[in-house]
A and B are shown apart, each in its own frame.
Chain A
Amino acid sequence: MRRDFLKGTAALGALAVLGARWPAQAAEAITMWHIFGAETEPGLKNIKRWNETQAQQIDQKFVPFGQLSQQLIKGIATGDVPDLITIDNPVVASFATQDALEELSDLVRASRVIKADQYYAGSWGTTLWNGKQYAVPGEANTLALYYNADMFKAKGLDPDKPPRTWAELHHAAEVLTDKDKGVFGTAFCALQSEEGTFQFLPFLQQSGASLKTLTSPDAVAALQLWTDFVAKGLASRDVLVKRQFEMTSSWLAGGSAMVISGPWELQRMKDVKFNWRVATLPHREGKDIEASALGGYVWGVPKGARNKEAAFKVIEFMSEPAQMQQSWSGGRLAPVTTLQVESPVMPEAYATFRKQMEVARPRGPHPRWPDISAAMQTAIQEALTGRSPPDAALKKASLVINPILERTPIAGL
């Protein structure tokens, strides 16, 4: 028995020695943390391209999206930050005001690749705070209306004339809902997370309201639209717990006739067995305001990064047209207006999303965006679960959001 004990200790000792001698990384490598999980991600391809042609290599680490905030915070807390990181665009202001990102204004001004006027105004806006540049847009995405043309035809609706107004949307949803077959007319995401806010804001904005006017009848009308969808059984109750892609999964399986989602879903459309189309979001009748959501990651250089200039060179590389052209293969749009993908796959979808990008509005930017978003999520869920009528739910949210906006306004709001 004692001999086994000694053997075990020796084995442990050996492990310890092995562990401590694991090869350290080359000092010059540019460390990058990113969210590109699948091997088919265009981002990974671009990293490979850089590594093939450049002397200073990128040492990349995949961080699951849900872990990104946590890992970056851990990095900041321990002073062990990567040189380059992909950040979700609405939290840039939070990180910037808490001194967690390097300021890139001078580098951008001097850059020959990155030109402010080439980018969508909304995308560019998310990377600024107080007139200073803290990030560079990496990709862009937005929301549009996917619909099942076959179902439209089957119910006597014209698939070439998708709903253009909320009234038409509501009508189409009513016609397309088929309780016996278990088909919902429409679908969207009202999860208690950033995705819920992401989906709802375009409706709020199209109604002519904003985060500052949550108690206005226009705002209430927007939330009422969603509430009616769920209350009347035109959309599944599970919109409250499912993510956007899960709602699209339902749509792909024939569980709903329409779904509001983004271009990232297009990769899944290859094997779709029905006739599908994408249209820009319907707008509120009488208001004629076109608005959609603006998503996508941005490139940031954490404060204290050891290779700031090299990291910026990588950002420039990623922002070159040759690299940005790759995005569409992964269902992502380049954040620049000047780029047109030559013969893209799914050209109609590409055209629709590009058109929608023109009216995409950023969330914030605001350093306390997470708090604002949390208040919105609660309001949406309270209304959709029937806990509160939409006006009361929005009033409650405004009590949280108004003081935040008074202290620090959102530019242009």
Chain B
Amino acid sequence: MRDHRRRQLERALDSEALWPLMVGFSALYLAFFVGYPVIYNLIMSVQHVTLGNIRFLVRPFVGLDNYAKLVADPLFTMVVQNTLLFVVGNVALQFLGGLALALFFQQPFPGASFFRGLILAGWILPPLVIGAVWKWLLASDNGIINYALHGLGLTSGPVYWLSDPATSLIGVTMANVWFGVPFNMILLSAGLAGVPRDIYEAAALDGAGPLRRFFAITLPLLRPTIYALLALSTIYTMRAFDLIWTMTHGGPVDSSNIFPVWAYRLSFELFDFGGGAAVSTMMLVVVFIVALIYVRSVRAEQLS
């Protein structure tokens, strides 16, 4: 009898039905806790929502009016532009910085793992603190970065990092890249660790130099990690809010205003909840595209 039971269990643990079950758990969890907010937002974006009716689910339907208003707003082009620049700049710089550090620390030398661990400390700081510290560092009058640049003779006068609309985005990007590099570094390090040593040794024996080894072996094997990292990095950067809010409030003159900042201002300062929801839905579309690209890459990887 027990044997039969045992075989039943084993068969159950071996069945094909296990797959969807395992995924299902997480899927349900996310669908419940996050799906509802996403749908909640979607619904809000096509309604006229005020403080008076926000507690009800059924509110006046206005179709795509909220979206039309946003697109017609002179801020729209500025915010789209800023978001594009901010996301592309951040993802690229964080990735390159992380990759450089990961490759560097892959080399065997005393203290390598110590320093790599130490660099992760930057990621632990709360955004409020990062924003405050970088605001001090980038202050035009008494910021240490300006002092250093001036001392090295690289600039003649103060650089108005945050107060000049032309450079405010650069200023917040610096802080955000600083924040994101350890994350990229550690994940790329994990990916690099998965590359078998013997392949390198074989290639070296064949006479391949370090650069060739990198492009021909490392990069292709690292591809799944890179795609995952870039996809996540893009999505996380698109959501960056706290840092910019602390440093510039989206200014000056909306020069560092990106989608999440705009959504916040619309919802919680101007009480235009429909507008805020519409902005987040627009973000959803962008993320959807990024997710599609990522899934395609996963498919390609699975085929190879």
- A192 near B254: Cβ-Cβ < 8 Å: yes
Taking the closest CB of chain A, its distance from the CB of B132, in whole angstroms, is: 10
Given contacts A76-B51, A370-B271, contact A250 B164 (CB under 8 A): no
Q: Is B89 an interface residue (CB 8 A)?
A: no
Taking the closest CB of chain B, its distance from the CB of A27, in whole angstroms, is: 22
A246, closest chain B residue (CB): B135
Q: What class of interface size applies to chain A in its complex with B? A: 35 or more
> Which residues of B in the span 123-169 have a Cβ within 8 Å of any Cβ on A?
135, 139-142, 158, 160, 162-165, 168
Q: Is B249 an interface residue (CB 8 A)?
A: yes
Q: Is A157 an interface residue (CB 8 A)?
A: no
- Most A CB contacts (10 A, CB to CB) among B52, B254, B273 go to B52
Q: Is A28 an interface residue (CB 8 A)?
A: no
- A237 near B140: Cβ-Cβ < 8 Å: yes
- A78 near B55: Cβ-Cβ < 8 Å: yes
Q: Is B247 an interface residue (CB 8 A)?
A: yes
Tell me which residues across on chain B come within 8 A of A217, comparing CB atoms.
Answer: none
- A238 near B141: Cβ-Cβ < 8 Å: yes
- B164 near A73: Cβ-Cβ < 8 Å: no
Q: Is B252 an interface residue (CB 8 A)?
A: yes
- A192 near B253: Cβ-Cβ < 8 Å: yes
Q: Is B84 an interface residue (CB 8 A)?
A: no
Tell me which residues across on chain A come within 8 A of B54, comparing CB atoms.
Answer: 73, 76-77
Tell me which residues across on chain B come within 8 A of A193, comparing CB atoms.
Answer: 249
Q: Is A387 an interface residue (CB 8 A)?
A: yes
Contact of A191 among B168, B251, B254, B273 (CB under 8 A): B251
Q: Is B180 an interface residue (CB 8 A)?
A: no
Q: What class of interface size applies to chain B in its complex with A? A: 20 to 34
Tell me which residues across on chain A come within 8 A of B140, comparing CB atoms.
Answer: 236-238
Q: Is B3 an interface residue (CB 8 A)?
A: no
- A385 near B141: Cβ-Cβ < 8 Å: no
B264, closest chain A residue (CB): A70
Contact of A374 among B163, B168, B269 (CB under 8 A): B269
Tell me which residues across on chain A come within 8 A of B164, comparing CB atoms.
Answer: 237, 385
Q: Is A381 an interface residue (CB 8 A)?
A: yes
- B268 near A241: Cβ-Cβ < 8 Å: no
Q: Is B113 an interface residue (CB 8 A)?
A: no
Q: Is A8 an interface residue (CB 8 A)?
A: no
Tell me which residues across on chain B come within 8 A of A98, comparing CB atoms.
Answer: 50-52, 271
Q: Is A182 an interface residue (CB 8 A)?
A: yes
Taking the closest CB of chain B, its distance from the CB of A192, in whole angstroms, is: 3
- Most B CB contacts (10 A, CB to CB) among A78, A79, A192, A253 go to A192
Tell me which residues across on chain A come within 8 A of B142, comparing CB atoms.
Answer: 182, 250, 253, 255
A253, closest chain B residue (CB): B142
- A77 near B50: Cβ-Cβ < 8 Å: no
Tell me which residues across on chain B come within 8 A of A371, comparing CB atoms.
Answer: 270
Tell me which residues across on chain B come within 8 A of A387, comparing CB atoms.
Answer: 165, 253
The interface bits of chain A over 95-133 (1 if a CB of B lies within 8 angstroms of the residue's CB, else 0) are 100111000000000000000000000000000000000
Contact of A192 among B52, B55, B252, B267 (CB under 8 A): B252
- A73 near B248: Cβ-Cβ < 8 Å: no
Interface pairs A-B: 7 shortest CB-CB: A192-B251, A98-B51, A99-B52, A240-B163, A237-B163, A240-B252, A100-B51
Residue positions of B touching A, CB distance < 8 A: 50-52, 54-55, 135, 139-142, 158, 160, 162-165, 168, 245, 247-254, 265, 267-271, 273
> Can you offer 12 A-B residue contacts whose CB atoms are under 8 A?
A73-B267, A76-B51, A77-B54, A94-B51, A237-B160, A237-B164, A374-B265, A374-B270, A381-B252, A384-B252, A385-B163, A385-B252
